[in-house]
Structure 1
């Protein structure tokens, strides 16, 4: 991990790269492979790397949540992550220390399953994220000192690491597809905050995967992704040979003021004959490598009424392809999200879950996982709750805020069994979807509304549950789920004393 010079949208700034490259590379592996990655921290601050969506069954110590599951990697030090995922699909990795992933420490992780369910001839990644021209070392302190709580507004948006800011001949990312072939696009929203809508002119998108879970296919004109969410879509190149625009657009209503450049464009090129491909472990679906072309004029959008994916309005829309009905719940856990001025922070706006602002130790003595191993209470200020192994819990999340929030749970997926509309207020006993709800690891709660998640806590460990707007994570919207601490100690052992960070 290094500081590098990056100019992804023609504006240059210092960013975080991997092996001297920005953006950080994607990682590809097969189901059943063991992944081993060593990160050497050449930054000036401690870091950690989380593998978003990887369940880490019996490997909580590899989750990569700084302070929670590991001591952070100090400048000049190295840490090796090694694990064998028992899952396939589209995931990503990113720093879980401060706001480093906003500065560039992020990349995609794709786990191929040779036993493909769906038929397609090609596949490609589509990485989407908001981009700031100032480093977060400037933006974060200003945000945390703000009395209004207005989040930093990104200047731009990137599609596969390329954006167009303040110019009419900026380069585009390009994907070439043979005419009448089917390509799988793996969409990954790696944004700090932006909700991004993705579309391709003249083509429809058939969703087949949600956060690593294969789903019954559903076709849309536009796919809407909140921060940290992923979708795989099949696109049939059934239009005449030519160039069609890929459009990635931020929802401007998310921000206090609209972004200067809310859209990134790319070229989806339908060609006659074959196209060059990159090597991939799955030889039947070659991996197309996006290339960058220059000299493309900015073209206004042609889609004026994008469709938002209906997550759970119908029991058949985006339901798991392999039936996975939720078990009966035994416990309810209400969680209320609020923002309010904090006396302890000079009146600045702070985030609270159930009235608790998550405050990590200023100088971490040990990771929270080590506290659990040593059977020592977690530090004061840690918002936590303990669950029994295989306990089935309904989390009733009430968002008492005029903004939408994507929530992610480490180490687990959940059933999204209920979701209120904007301004519905708290849950009032509305019917829940227990037939075939969406299963995912990151779900959005609407503004001034509610969300019900059913979770089977079947993975012993200490797991973060937090808003994936990175500014909000740093502002206290995190709680810790401690699952079966006895089983954690049984697997990892009980040290004679608390193992402190080096």
Structure 2
């Protein structure tokens, strides 16, 4: 069924309380973004990062320190909202879905106080700052059971981050499948630009969406006898879309209405606009396009790239793609569709989401009648060809000091549970005993081979050849690093072919297609213990992750603050009387 037939009042909206509470995402009230934050390190004509440029600066070694700290406070609560017209229980940041923007200049520090006010069924939480390298502060990564204990109900924890990379990213809960229940939001770090544009429209979040609450989905996938994939109900842009309520099961009495409204954006005729696409979904690979407009890709994840033109951008879960678009396809009163479509390899009841882009004088109540670009989706969920994506600042991949083969697989355990295995392991974290804190005490020997912990010792650069013999694709995400992406494609790697060996793409998430391979390389200069996992929330819950240790001989020297230990003491106290319903891997 097409979008036109879902309802008559398509561009109308229900009340903010019913749909997204306090959120302005996807409304024309949302302000555009500046080139950088003024004051506290930024002023007219003088950038906060000095003379550093995108093409001439190694951001991993020559990042600025502005001396500025940006302060935020997150109140995590539970509430009922209807992002697509179907009411469900969600977890919210400051009453918003998606959560509020966290923004800073390159080189700033960011402090976020997270208050766990989840009521009803109380649960822990944590916040992961996706793509932040956390140099010298691996305990701020926000992965419970790995870098910290969860934040106990009624308690708080303050994260302090150094924005050493710049561009577009997001934050999300990393406690079980919580982020699939709404606990997420965007991040923008302002830095040097290598392509001119007039207006920054900011983050545009695309995501698949389940009508069950996240814990019910986890219960579904972790039930004995479960096989295969869980199916999403809808697809969203900026937390908005319309659901065809006729698809609701007859015995489901949940309130549902067909007039939820869609996201809206404004283009200025003849001007160039920056759009920051983020896949904040739980499972699906998104294909994003704008009718009648060519997009120029300028960044993948936190890596500025040599610009290239395309009609469609591909985003696996957790990936970001920044583009610039010139509003040259219509008249001053034109209206166009922005489309986000789940690739067929992503199982969903409703695959498409659409938003309206209004030129200057267009009627905000007018429906677009634009035509989609032809899109021959190969149904592989693979990212774009690697030859297209070369970083602006070139870095040659070094010779690896160690090469590892890591195969993806599944098992059915003795209790008939379906689990993912990565290099033979399907781990489960211990919330009360994070591995980083155990490693800090000098005890890595107590971890068995089934825990998926890899101590790379003093190796300087690790090449990992991932082989995926199964049909399902996987967005592979490494914490604490940006990976060199050396090879992707169907079948096993031939052991020799590297795309752009003198300047391979660098990013923190990349797809491995079904029946295919992905070869990445990771420099190990960032001392710590980091999660490496599939970013499909349900696959991670079913054990698809490992923990990689860099420079383990230095872990005992880490100056971990008492706030980390205090969070563990508070979690220990809470779990003395509360039952933690950890039925999955925990991450």
The answer, yes or no, to whether TM exceeds 0.5 is: yes
Cα deviation code 1:16-67 (max 9, x no counterpart)? 1111222211211111211010111112111111001011111111111111
What CA distance in whole angstroms lies between the structure 1 residues aligned with 2:81 and 2:385? 42
Cα pair 2:408 2:467 within 8 Å, conserved? yes
What CA distance in whole angstroms lies between the structure 2 residues aligned with 1:293 and 1:23? 23
Secondary structure in 2 matching 1:178 = coil
Secondary structure in 2 matching 1:420 = strand
1:476-487 equivalence runs, <5 A: 476-487=543-554
Cα pair 1:229 1:442 within 8 Å, conserved? yes
Secondary structure in 2 matching 1:360 = coil
Cα pair 2:474 2:511 within 8 Å, conserved? yes
Give the aligned partner of residue 153 of structure 1.
231
Give the aligned partner of residue 280 of structure 1.
none
Give the aligned partner of residue 314 of structure 2.
224
Give the aligned partner of residue 465 of structure 1.
532
The alpha-carbon distance between structure 1 residues 37 and 494, as it changes in their structure 2 partners (threshold 3 A), is closer
Q: Post-superposition shift, 1:337? A: 0.6
Q: Post-superposition shift, 1:445? A: 0.7
Return the match for 1:338 from 385, 399, 409.
409
Secondary structure in 1 matching 2:568 = coil
Cα pair 2:420 2:426 within 8 Å, conserved? yes
1:385-404 equivalence runs, <5 A: 385-389=454-458, 391-404=460-473
Q: Post-superposition shift, 1:376? A: 1.6
Return the match for 2:422 from 353, 372, 396.
353
Give the aligned partner of residue 3 of structure 1.
78
Cα pair 2:80 2:88 within 8 Å, conserved? yes
The alpha-carbon distance between structure 1 residues 499 and 126, as it changes in their structure 2 partners (threshold 3 A), is closer
Secondary structure in 1 matching 2:357 = strand
Cα pair 1:460 1:485 within 8 Å, conserved? yes
Question: Is 1:67 matched with 2:137?
Answer: no
1:206-217 equivalence runs, <5 A: 206-217=296-307
Q: Post-superposition shift, 1:80? A: 0.3
Give the aligned partner of residue 400 of structure 2.
329
Q: Post-superposition shift, 1:145? A: 1.7
What CA distance in whole angstroms lies between the structure 1 residues aligned with 2:284 and 2:560? 42
Cα pair 2:447 2:453 within 8 Å, conserved? no
Give the aligned partner of residue 15 of structure 2.
none
Return the match for 1:106 from 169, 177, 184.
184
Structure 1 outlier segments of 4+, above 4 Å? 167-170, 292-297, 306-314, 378-381
Cα pair 1:392 1:455 within 8 Å, conserved? yes
Cα pair 1:203 1:235 within 8 Å, conserved? yes
Return the match for 1:247 from 329, 339, 358.
339
Give the aligned partner of residue 267 of structure 2.
177
Cα pair 2:336 2:370 within 8 Å, conserved? no
Give the aligned partner of residue 69 of structure 2.
none
Give the aligned partner of residue 64 of structure 2.
none
TM-score by length of 1: 0.88
Give the aligned partner of residue 444 of structure 1.
511
Give the aligned partner of residue 116 of structure 1.
193
Secondary structure in 2 matching 1:375 = coil
Tell me the number of residue pairs that the alignment of Structure 1 and Structure 2 aligns.
Answer: 469
Cα pair 1:373 1:492 within 8 Å, conserved? no
Worse overlay, 67-76 or 259-268: 259-268
Q: Post-superposition shift, 1:79? A: 0.5
Cα RMSD after superposing both structures: 2.4
Give the aligned partner of residue 96 of structure 1.
174
Q: Post-superposition shift, 1:85? A: 1.5
Q: Post-superposition shift, 1:491? A: 3.2
1:356-435 equivalence runs, <5 A: 356-361=425-430, 364-377=431-444, 378-380=446-448, 381-389=450-458, 391-421=460-490, 424=491, 426-433=492-499, 434-435=501-502
Q: Post-superposition shift, 1:170? A: 4.4
The alpha-carbon distance between structure 1 residues 452 and 365, as it changes in their structure 2 partners (threshold 3 A), is same
What CA distance in whole angstroms lies between the structure 2 residues aligned with 1:493 and 1:171? 47
Q: Post-superposition shift, 1:365? A: 3.4
Q: Post-superposition shift, 1:272? A: 5.5
Q: Post-superposition shift, 1:304? A: 3.5
Secondary structure in 1 matching 2:328 = coil
What CA distance in whole angstroms lies between the structure 2 residues aligned with 1:28 and 1:136? 27
What CA distance in whole angstroms lies between the structure 2 residues aligned with 1:195 and 1:311? 9
Cα deviation code 1:416-465 (max 9, x no counterpart)? 111122xx1x3233512213221100011110211110111110001000
What CA distance in whole angstroms lies between the structure 2 residues aligned with 1:351 and 1:415? 25
TM-score by length of 2: 0.76
Cα pair 1:205 1:220 within 8 Å, conserved? yes
Question: Is 1:15 matched with 2:90?
Answer: yes
What CA distance in whole angstroms lies between the structure 1 residues aligned with 2:124 and 2:243? 32
Give the aligned partner of residue 58 of structure 1.
136
Q: Post-superposition shift, 1:2? A: 0.3
The answer to which structure has the higher strand fraction is 1
Secondary structure in 2 matching 1:305 = coil
Give the aligned partner of residue 234 of structure 1.
324
Give the aligned partner of residue 40 of structure 1.
115
Question: Is 1:83 matched with 2:168?
Answer: no
Q: Post-superposition shift, 1:487? A: 2.0
**Which residues of structure 2 form unaligned runs of 5+?**
1-75, 246-257, 570-587
